[in-house]
Amino acid sequence: SIYEMFGNECCLSTGEVIKVIGFKVNKLIASICENNEVSRFSAKVELPLNFPGLYKVVADKTPYVSIEEITRKVSIGPTRFGHPCFYSPEDIKLTNLTIKHGEQITFNSVEEINGMTAVNCGMVRNNQSHFFTLPLSQEGKFYECEDDQIYTLKEIAEWKIPKCRNRVVKLSNTLHTRDSSNPLPENFDGCLILTPVYEVQAVMKFRKDIVHILSDLDVEVKDITNCYDISSFLQPLSLEDVFERTSKEFPMAAEIMEGPSGSQNPYNLLYTGKEIIIYKKYQATRVLASEIRSDSPKRHFLIPISYKGKFKRRPREFPTAYDLEIARSEKEQLHVVATKAFDSPHKELFSVSVGDQFLVQQCQTSEVLYEGRKKLIDVLACEQILSDTYKKVLLPMYMEGGFVEVIHDKKQYQLSDICKEFRLPFNVKVSVRDLSVEEDVLAAVPGLQFEEEITDSYLLISSASSPVESWEIPVYRLNMLVHLLSKDVQTVVPPVTKTTVEEINEEQYYMVRRYENQTLHPPPRPPKKPT
């Protein structure tokens, strides 16, 4: 049988030995969903995994009948996607704990404990975490819990479609402007039923790349696993697999079996067949930055703290007086100009005109007369700058106006200094580009907003043939497969690490912010107008 896949012709000869290493969703067939059923008027459309948009997963109403069925059909793994949640309509009595009906059970990992396979689970009750195991033999009805997270289609295909089931999703955010290639109806914001089309991933005896075989290829095969030495095949590893290795196993030599797509440095150097050295794994800090512009789409970047360029400050914009309170600091006084008029409903508080300038002081409470009654409300104490004097004024914290910062600071800052001295978000522009790289992508951006610091997982690698510089590559945003080489690594100390500013697309930006913000408390809501 001869077929062509991704432009590569592959011949499966009679007697060819193939080692199947995995199954992967190749594409999705989508139908518009009405009342959890396929719409009678809906045509089926084919969606690639990189189809733009963010989606919410609709909980499957069909229960699983045992823990064994869940482990067989649902993806459970070490990454942040691999922790599905279920509930039982009946109490489950364990040795030291009774799980009450309706309580959310999180499935964390599958392990062999005392010779028996079981699932490590967790639940939260009265703000206290409880951990326990459930054996595969545990029977009952287990329903999926509602999931309030948002996902890309690729994430849903890899983690959120159970084997032998379809998945209903609701479009949460289109992210992109509509174009003629979009197969969904215009302004569509409903639910889709997704049916996966799988491909088989395999390795062959005399090939060093991954072979992708569509599941509907007409070829007969025979299972010879028990009578063949499978150790003679190459063992492909994803970057996540490499990252899960113990630290003492590094450094290691590897050959790329499937390189990442994209022309951005250094990813264009990571091609199939290239040998690399992987020195270590670690967590590294990045600053998430977005281009300042009124129209979309904006460009987004992850900037390492080691970035060697310099920045000058740019004015920030504040939509409310509450935002002024959040932004003020002890280090310097915040000076702003009003860009929108505001008429105060209380004579005790100040009415703002366009062009008024203020020095922001502090938050306090003030008594105002409201419908004949005295009431305490939160206000922002400021000094209005007049031609030859200052006037103390009070602005209501709920005031919806508009302010632009006046910058007096003309200094140039390193990124590390900004992170130490100022509170993010923070607006800047590049004043001196990073001369250690050939092309500094940030230098061409007229303005940047540093949004937050994030921590992410990286591997430090270099070329094996000419290790003159090393690069940090992101574990969870780079699709790459390698196999380890048995040769010893001569260079234990990595060469100088080259600064790489990573430009990420809009979906990756939402993913980064989503998972970073899971660990943060939401900011307090601004005060409402008194009623």
User: pLDDT digits over 32-54, tens only?
Assistant: 877 656 655 567 888 888 888 88
Last residue of a domain, one of 142, 167, 202: 142
Q: Do 152 and 134 share a structural domain?
A: no
468 CB-near residues (< 8 Å, 6+ apart): 462, 495
Is the peptide bond prior to 266 cis by the omega test (within 30 degrees of 0)?
Answer: yes
Residue with tokens 């309706």: 102
Q: Do 388 and 361 share a structural domain?
A: yes
pLDDT confidence bin for 521, thresholds 50/70/90: very low
From 483, 468, 494, select the one nearest 253 (Cα to Cα). 483
Percent of the chain at pLDDT above 90?
A: 34
DSSP string, 275-300: EEEEEEEEEEEEEEEEE--SSSPPPE
pLDDT confidence bin for 262, thresholds 50/70/90: low
CA angle 236/237/238 to nearest 5° reads 130
Which pairing describes strands 400-405 and 335-338: parallel, antiparallel, or unpaired?
antiparallel
Answer yes or no: is 501 within a domain.
Answer: no
Q: Do 169 and 226 share a structural domain?
A: yes
pLDDT for 420 beyond 80 = yes
pLDDT confidence bin for 519, thresholds 50/70/90: very low
Three-class DSSP category at 445: coil
Q: Do 414 and 297 share a structural domain?
A: yes
Q: Do 449 and 460 share a structural domain?
A: no
Answer yes or no: is 374 within a domain.
Answer: yes
User: pLDDT digits over 329-342, tens only?
Assistant: 877 889 999 999 88
Containing domain of residue 422, as a range?
285-314+409-454
pLDDT confidence bin for 499, thresholds 50/70/90: confident
Domains in the chain, number = 5
For the entire predicted model, the pTM comes to 0.66
Candidate ranges 25-39, 256-270, 418-432; pick with highest mean pLDDT: 418-432
Beta strand extents in 334-425 (DSSP E only): 335-338, 357-370, 373-385, 390-396, 400-405
Q: Do 44 and 177 share a structural domain?
A: yes
User: pLDDT digits over 90-147, tens only?
Assistant: 999 998 899 999 999 999 988 887 788 899 999 999 989 999 999 999 999 999 999 9
Q: Do 306 and 193 share a structural domain?
A: no
> Do 346 and 366 form a contact (C-beta atoms < 8 A)?
no
The structure tokens listed for 460 are 């430090």
